[in-house]
Structure 1
Amino acid sequence: MSEVQSDEVCNTYIDKLALICINSNRKQLVARSVGKSVYFTPGGKREKGETDEEALRRECMEELSVNLSTLTNTAASIEPYGNFEAHAYGKPPGTIVRMTCFRVTPREAELELEHLVKASAEVEELKWIDSSFEREKLTVTGIMILEDLKEKNLID
Protein backbone atom coordinates (compact mmCIF):
# COMPACT_ATOMS: atom_id res chain seq x y z
CA MET A 1 0.00 0.00 0.00
CA SER A 2 1.46 3.39 -0.99
CA GLU A 3 1.28 6.56 1.08
CA VAL A 4 -0.72 9.44 -0.39
CA GLN A 5 0.81 12.89 -0.05
CA SER A 6 -1.22 16.04 -0.17
CA ASP A 7 -0.02 19.38 -1.49
CA GLU A 8 -2.96 21.03 0.25
CA VAL A 9 -1.86 23.67 2.75
CA CYS A 10 -3.93 24.26 5.87
CA ASN A 11 -3.87 27.99 6.45
CA THR A 12 -4.92 29.85 9.56
CA TYR A 13 -6.38 33.30 8.92
CA ILE A 14 -6.15 36.39 11.09
CA ASP A 15 -8.72 39.01 10.13
CA LYS A 16 -7.61 42.60 10.82
CA LEU A 17 -8.68 46.14 10.07
CA ALA A 18 -6.26 49.00 9.44
CA LEU A 19 -6.33 52.77 8.99
CA ILE A 20 -4.29 54.21 6.16
CA CYS A 21 -3.50 57.81 6.98
CA ILE A 22 -1.55 60.11 4.66
CA ASN A 23 -0.25 63.46 5.89
CA SER A 24 0.26 66.81 4.17
CA ASN A 25 3.78 65.73 3.12
CA ARG A 26 2.37 62.68 1.28
CA LYS A 27 3.70 60.23 3.88
CA GLN A 28 1.90 57.26 5.41
CA LEU A 29 1.49 56.76 9.15
CA VAL A 30 2.92 53.52 10.59
CA ALA A 31 3.32 52.33 14.17
CA ARG A 32 5.78 50.13 16.03
CA SER A 33 4.50 48.22 19.05
CA VAL A 34 6.43 48.11 22.30
CA GLY A 35 9.26 45.58 22.04
CA LYS A 36 8.86 44.99 18.27
CA SER A 37 11.31 45.80 15.51
CA VAL A 38 8.92 46.30 12.56
CA TYR A 39 6.27 48.89 11.79
CA PHE A 40 2.66 48.10 10.94
CA THR A 41 -0.36 49.96 9.63
CA PRO A 42 -2.38 51.00 12.72
CA GLY A 43 -5.44 48.89 13.45
CA GLY A 44 -6.36 45.52 14.87
CA LYS A 45 -8.96 42.81 15.25
CA ARG A 46 -12.71 43.15 15.66
CA GLU A 47 -14.22 42.29 19.01
CA LYS A 48 -17.36 40.17 19.07
CA GLY A 49 -20.37 42.08 17.73
CA GLU A 50 -18.37 45.05 16.39
CA THR A 51 -18.79 46.43 12.90
CA ASP A 52 -15.67 47.25 10.92
CA GLU A 53 -16.14 50.96 11.61
CA GLU A 54 -16.68 50.45 15.35
CA ALA A 55 -13.59 48.25 15.59
CA LEU A 56 -11.45 50.70 13.62
CA ARG A 57 -12.59 53.63 15.78
CA ARG A 58 -11.78 51.65 18.95
CA GLU A 59 -8.38 50.55 17.64
CA CYS A 60 -7.47 54.11 16.64
CA MET A 61 -8.32 55.30 20.14
CA GLU A 62 -6.25 52.46 21.67
CA GLU A 63 -3.19 52.84 19.42
CA LEU A 64 -3.22 56.44 18.19
CA SER A 65 -5.04 58.18 21.06
CA VAL A 66 -7.44 59.75 18.57
CA ASN A 67 -11.21 59.62 18.40
CA LEU A 68 -12.22 59.40 14.74
CA SER A 69 -15.79 60.31 15.73
CA THR A 70 -14.82 63.76 16.97
CA LEU A 71 -12.36 65.23 14.50
CA THR A 72 -12.60 68.90 15.32
CA ASN A 73 -13.02 70.93 12.13
CA THR A 74 -14.40 68.59 9.50
CA ALA A 75 -17.22 66.06 9.40
CA ALA A 76 -15.44 62.81 8.65
CA SER A 77 -16.39 59.37 7.44
CA ILE A 78 -14.46 56.13 7.16
CA GLU A 79 -14.26 54.77 3.62
CA PRO A 80 -12.93 51.42 2.35
CA TYR A 81 -9.49 51.55 0.72
CA GLY A 82 -8.63 47.95 -0.11
CA ASN A 83 -7.77 44.45 1.09
CA PHE A 84 -4.32 42.93 1.49
CA GLU A 85 -3.40 39.34 2.35
CA ALA A 86 0.02 37.88 3.22
CA HIS A 87 1.90 35.76 5.72
CA ALA A 88 1.32 37.17 9.21
CA TYR A 89 4.47 38.70 10.69
CA GLY A 90 6.02 36.62 13.46
CA LYS A 91 3.52 33.78 13.05
CA PRO A 92 4.09 30.16 12.01
CA PRO A 93 4.05 29.21 8.30
CA GLY A 94 0.49 28.98 7.00
CA THR A 95 -0.72 31.87 9.17
CA ILE A 96 -2.21 34.46 6.85
CA VAL A 97 -3.33 37.97 7.79
CA ARG A 98 -6.25 39.46 5.87
CA MET A 99 -6.05 43.23 6.24
CA THR A 100 -9.11 45.30 5.37
CA CYS A 101 -7.93 48.90 5.04
CA PHE A 102 -9.83 52.16 5.37
CA ARG A 103 -9.15 55.90 5.00
CA VAL A 104 -10.75 58.90 6.62
CA THR A 105 -12.52 61.21 4.16
CA PRO A 106 -12.71 63.97 3.09
CA ARG A 107 -9.02 64.79 2.69
CA GLU A 108 -9.34 67.77 5.06
CA ALA A 109 -10.44 65.40 7.84
CA GLU A 110 -7.55 63.03 7.12
CA LEU A 111 -5.12 65.95 7.29
CA GLU A 112 -6.40 66.84 10.77
CA LEU A 113 -5.16 63.46 11.99
CA GLU A 114 -1.56 64.46 11.26
CA HIS A 115 -1.63 66.79 14.27
CA LEU A 116 -3.86 64.67 16.52
CA VAL A 117 -2.31 61.20 16.49
CA LYS A 118 0.07 60.24 19.29
CA ALA A 119 1.42 56.90 20.40
CA SER A 120 -0.54 55.16 23.12
CA ALA A 121 0.97 52.97 25.85
CA GLU A 122 0.95 49.91 23.55
CA VAL A 123 2.72 51.77 20.72
CA GLU A 124 6.37 52.66 21.16
CA GLU A 125 6.69 54.83 18.07
CA LEU A 126 4.68 56.44 15.30
CA LYS A 127 6.44 57.34 12.06
CA TRP A 128 5.45 59.03 8.80
CA ILE A 129 7.08 57.18 5.90
CA ASP A 130 7.37 57.49 2.14
CA SER A 131 7.98 54.84 -0.51
CA SER A 132 11.75 54.85 0.11
CA PHE A 133 11.31 53.47 3.66
CA GLU A 134 13.37 50.34 4.39
CA ARG A 135 11.24 47.32 3.48
CA GLU A 136 12.86 45.09 6.13
CA LYS A 137 11.35 47.37 8.79
CA LEU A 138 7.79 46.67 7.57
CA THR A 139 5.49 43.66 7.71
CA VAL A 140 4.66 41.99 4.38
CA THR A 141 1.22 43.60 4.33
CA GLY A 142 2.89 46.90 5.22
CA ILE A 143 5.10 46.60 2.14
CA MET A 144 2.08 45.75 -0.01
CA ILE A 145 0.17 48.79 1.28
CA LEU A 146 3.16 51.12 0.83
CA GLU A 147 3.68 49.96 -2.75
CA ASP A 148 -0.03 50.29 -3.51
CA LEU A 149 -0.06 53.87 -2.17
CA LYS A 150 2.97 54.73 -4.31
CA GLU A 151 1.48 53.09 -7.40
CA LYS A 152 -1.69 55.18 -6.92
CA ASN A 153 0.47 58.30 -6.47
CA LEU A 154 -0.88 58.93 -2.96
CA ILE A 155 2.56 59.03 -1.33
CA ASP A 156 6.02 60.06 -2.51
Structure 2
Amino acid sequence: MSTLIDKIAWIHLGDGRILSTRSRGKDVYYLPGGKREPGETDLDTLVREIDEELAVAIVPATAERLGTFQAQAHGHAEGVTVQMTCYTADHQGEPTPSSEIAEVAWLTYADRPRVSPVDQIIFDHLHTIGRLH
Protein backbone atom coordinates (compact mmCIF):
# COMPACT_ATOMS: atom_id res chain seq x y z
CA MET A 1 0.00 0.00 0.00
CA SER A 2 1.36 3.40 -0.90
CA THR A 3 1.29 6.36 1.45
CA LEU A 4 1.09 10.01 0.45
CA ILE A 5 2.57 12.79 2.59
CA ASP A 6 0.82 16.05 1.70
CA LYS A 7 3.07 19.08 2.21
CA ILE A 8 3.02 22.77 1.40
CA ALA A 9 6.26 24.61 0.58
CA TRP A 10 7.35 28.23 0.24
CA ILE A 11 9.45 29.07 -2.82
CA HIS A 12 11.51 32.14 -1.93
CA LEU A 13 13.91 33.12 -4.73
CA GLY A 14 16.50 35.89 -4.85
CA ASP A 15 19.37 36.55 -7.26
CA GLY A 16 18.90 33.13 -8.89
CA ARG A 17 19.13 31.34 -5.51
CA ILE A 18 16.47 29.64 -3.38
CA LEU A 19 15.96 29.73 0.38
CA SER A 20 16.26 26.25 1.89
CA THR A 21 16.33 24.88 5.42
CA ARG A 22 18.01 22.02 7.22
CA SER A 23 16.34 20.52 10.28
CA ARG A 24 18.32 19.40 13.31
CA GLY A 25 19.73 15.91 12.78
CA LYS A 26 19.03 15.88 9.02
CA ASP A 27 21.66 15.58 6.29
CA VAL A 28 19.73 17.18 3.43
CA TYR A 29 18.08 20.53 2.83
CA TYR A 30 14.34 20.98 2.38
CA LEU A 31 12.24 23.84 1.11
CA PRO A 32 10.55 25.55 4.08
CA GLY A 33 7.00 24.40 4.78
CA GLY A 34 5.29 21.35 6.16
CA LYS A 35 2.27 19.15 6.57
CA ARG A 36 -1.30 20.39 6.58
CA GLU A 37 -3.22 20.13 9.85
CA PRO A 38 -6.88 19.02 9.81
CA GLY A 39 -9.16 21.65 8.30
CA GLU A 40 -6.33 23.86 7.03
CA THR A 41 -6.24 25.30 3.52
CA ASP A 42 -2.97 25.45 1.59
CA LEU A 43 -2.62 29.10 2.56
CA ASP A 44 -3.33 28.41 6.26
CA THR A 45 -0.59 25.76 6.24
CA LEU A 46 1.86 28.01 4.40
CA VAL A 47 1.39 30.93 6.80
CA ARG A 48 1.59 28.75 9.95
CA GLU A 49 4.57 26.62 8.86
CA ILE A 50 6.69 29.54 7.65
CA ASP A 51 6.00 31.46 10.84
CA GLU A 52 6.96 28.39 12.92
CA GLU A 53 10.11 27.52 10.94
CA LEU A 54 11.48 30.93 9.93
CA ALA A 55 9.71 33.49 12.14
CA VAL A 56 8.50 35.49 9.12
CA ALA A 57 4.97 36.53 8.18
CA ILE A 58 3.72 35.45 4.75
CA VAL A 59 1.55 38.10 3.08
CA PRO A 60 -1.46 35.91 2.12
CA ALA A 61 -2.77 38.20 -0.64
CA THR A 62 0.53 37.77 -2.54
CA ALA A 63 0.61 33.95 -2.51
CA GLU A 64 0.74 32.34 -5.97
CA ARG A 65 0.71 28.61 -6.66
CA LEU A 66 3.83 27.53 -8.53
CA GLY A 67 2.95 23.87 -8.97
CA THR A 68 2.63 20.47 -7.30
CA PHE A 69 5.47 17.96 -7.41
CA GLN A 70 5.78 14.32 -6.24
CA ALA A 71 8.68 12.00 -5.41
CA GLN A 72 9.76 9.20 -3.09
CA ALA A 73 9.85 10.66 0.44
CA HIS A 74 13.40 11.10 1.75
CA GLY A 75 14.16 8.86 4.74
CA HIS A 76 10.90 6.89 4.39
CA ALA A 77 10.17 3.34 3.24
CA GLU A 78 9.83 2.62 -0.49
CA GLY A 79 6.34 3.53 -1.69
CA VAL A 80 5.98 6.52 0.63
CA THR A 81 5.47 9.51 -1.66
CA VAL A 82 5.66 13.17 -0.75
CA GLN A 83 3.42 15.58 -2.64
CA MET A 84 4.66 19.14 -2.39
CA THR A 85 2.38 22.00 -3.40
CA CYS A 86 4.60 25.07 -3.82
CA TYR A 87 3.75 28.73 -3.45
CA THR A 88 5.64 31.96 -3.89
CA ALA A 89 4.62 34.82 -1.59
CA ASP A 90 5.91 38.08 -0.23
CA HIS A 91 6.86 38.14 3.43
CA GLN A 92 7.62 40.45 6.32
CA GLY A 93 10.65 39.88 8.51
CA GLU A 94 14.06 38.28 8.06
CA PRO A 95 14.11 34.45 7.78
CA THR A 96 15.65 33.10 10.99
CA PRO A 97 16.00 29.41 11.97
CA SER A 98 13.28 28.58 14.48
CA SER A 99 11.60 25.48 15.93
CA GLU A 100 13.27 22.34 14.45
CA ILE A 101 15.28 24.31 11.87
CA ALA A 102 19.04 24.27 12.48
CA GLU A 103 20.15 26.23 9.43
CA VAL A 104 18.84 28.51 6.69
CA ALA A 105 20.82 28.55 3.41
CA TRP A 106 20.58 30.18 0.00
CA LEU A 107 21.17 27.39 -2.53
CA THR A 108 21.84 27.41 -6.27
CA TYR A 109 21.16 24.74 -8.88
CA ALA A 110 24.67 23.39 -8.21
CA ASP A 111 23.44 22.43 -4.71
CA ARG A 112 20.78 20.09 -6.18
CA PRO A 113 22.49 16.90 -4.82
CA ARG A 114 22.19 18.33 -1.28
CA VAL A 115 18.36 18.50 -1.25
CA SER A 116 15.57 15.91 -0.87
CA PRO A 117 14.29 14.01 -3.95
CA VAL A 118 11.11 16.10 -4.34
CA ASP A 119 13.14 19.29 -3.96
CA GLN A 120 15.46 18.05 -6.74
CA ILE A 121 12.43 17.89 -9.07
CA ILE A 122 11.44 21.43 -8.00
CA PHE A 123 15.05 22.63 -8.54
CA ASP A 124 14.91 21.13 -12.07
CA HIS A 125 11.63 22.94 -12.80
CA LEU A 126 12.91 26.28 -11.49
CA HIS A 127 16.18 25.90 -13.41
CA THR A 128 14.30 25.08 -16.65
CA ILE A 129 12.14 28.22 -16.36
CA GLY A 130 15.20 30.35 -15.59
CA ARG A 131 14.42 31.15 -11.95
CA LEU A 132 17.23 29.12 -10.32
CA HIS A 133 20.84 29.51 -11.51
TM-score by length of 1: 0.80
Post-superposition offset of 1:103: 0.5
Could you list the per-position Cα deviations for residues 104-143 of structure 1 after superposition, in whole angstroms to 9, with x for gaps in the alignment? 1xxxx4xx66x711111310001101111151x2100111
Map of 2:4 onto structure 1: 13
Aligned partners of 1:85, 1:121: CA distance in 2, in Å? 25
RMSD: 1.6
Overall identity of the aligned pairs, in %? 36
Count of residue correspondences: 133
Which has more strand, going by share of residues? 2
* Equivalence map 1:17-96=2 (5 Å): 17-23=8-14, 25-69=15-59, 76-96=61-81
Post-superposition offset of 1:82: 0.5
Aligned partners of 2:97, 2:62: CA distance in 1, in Å? 22
What is the letter of the counterpart of residue 103 of structure 1?
Answer: T
User: Which consecutive aligned stretches of 4+ in structure 1 deviate over 3 angstroms post-superposition?
Assistant: none
Aligned partners of 2:112, 2:35: CA distance in 1, in Å? 26
What is the letter of the counterpart of residue 81 of structure 1?
Answer: L
Give ranges in structure 2 of 5+ residues lacking alignment.
none
Q: Is the 8 A contact 2:24 2:100 kept in 1?
A: yes
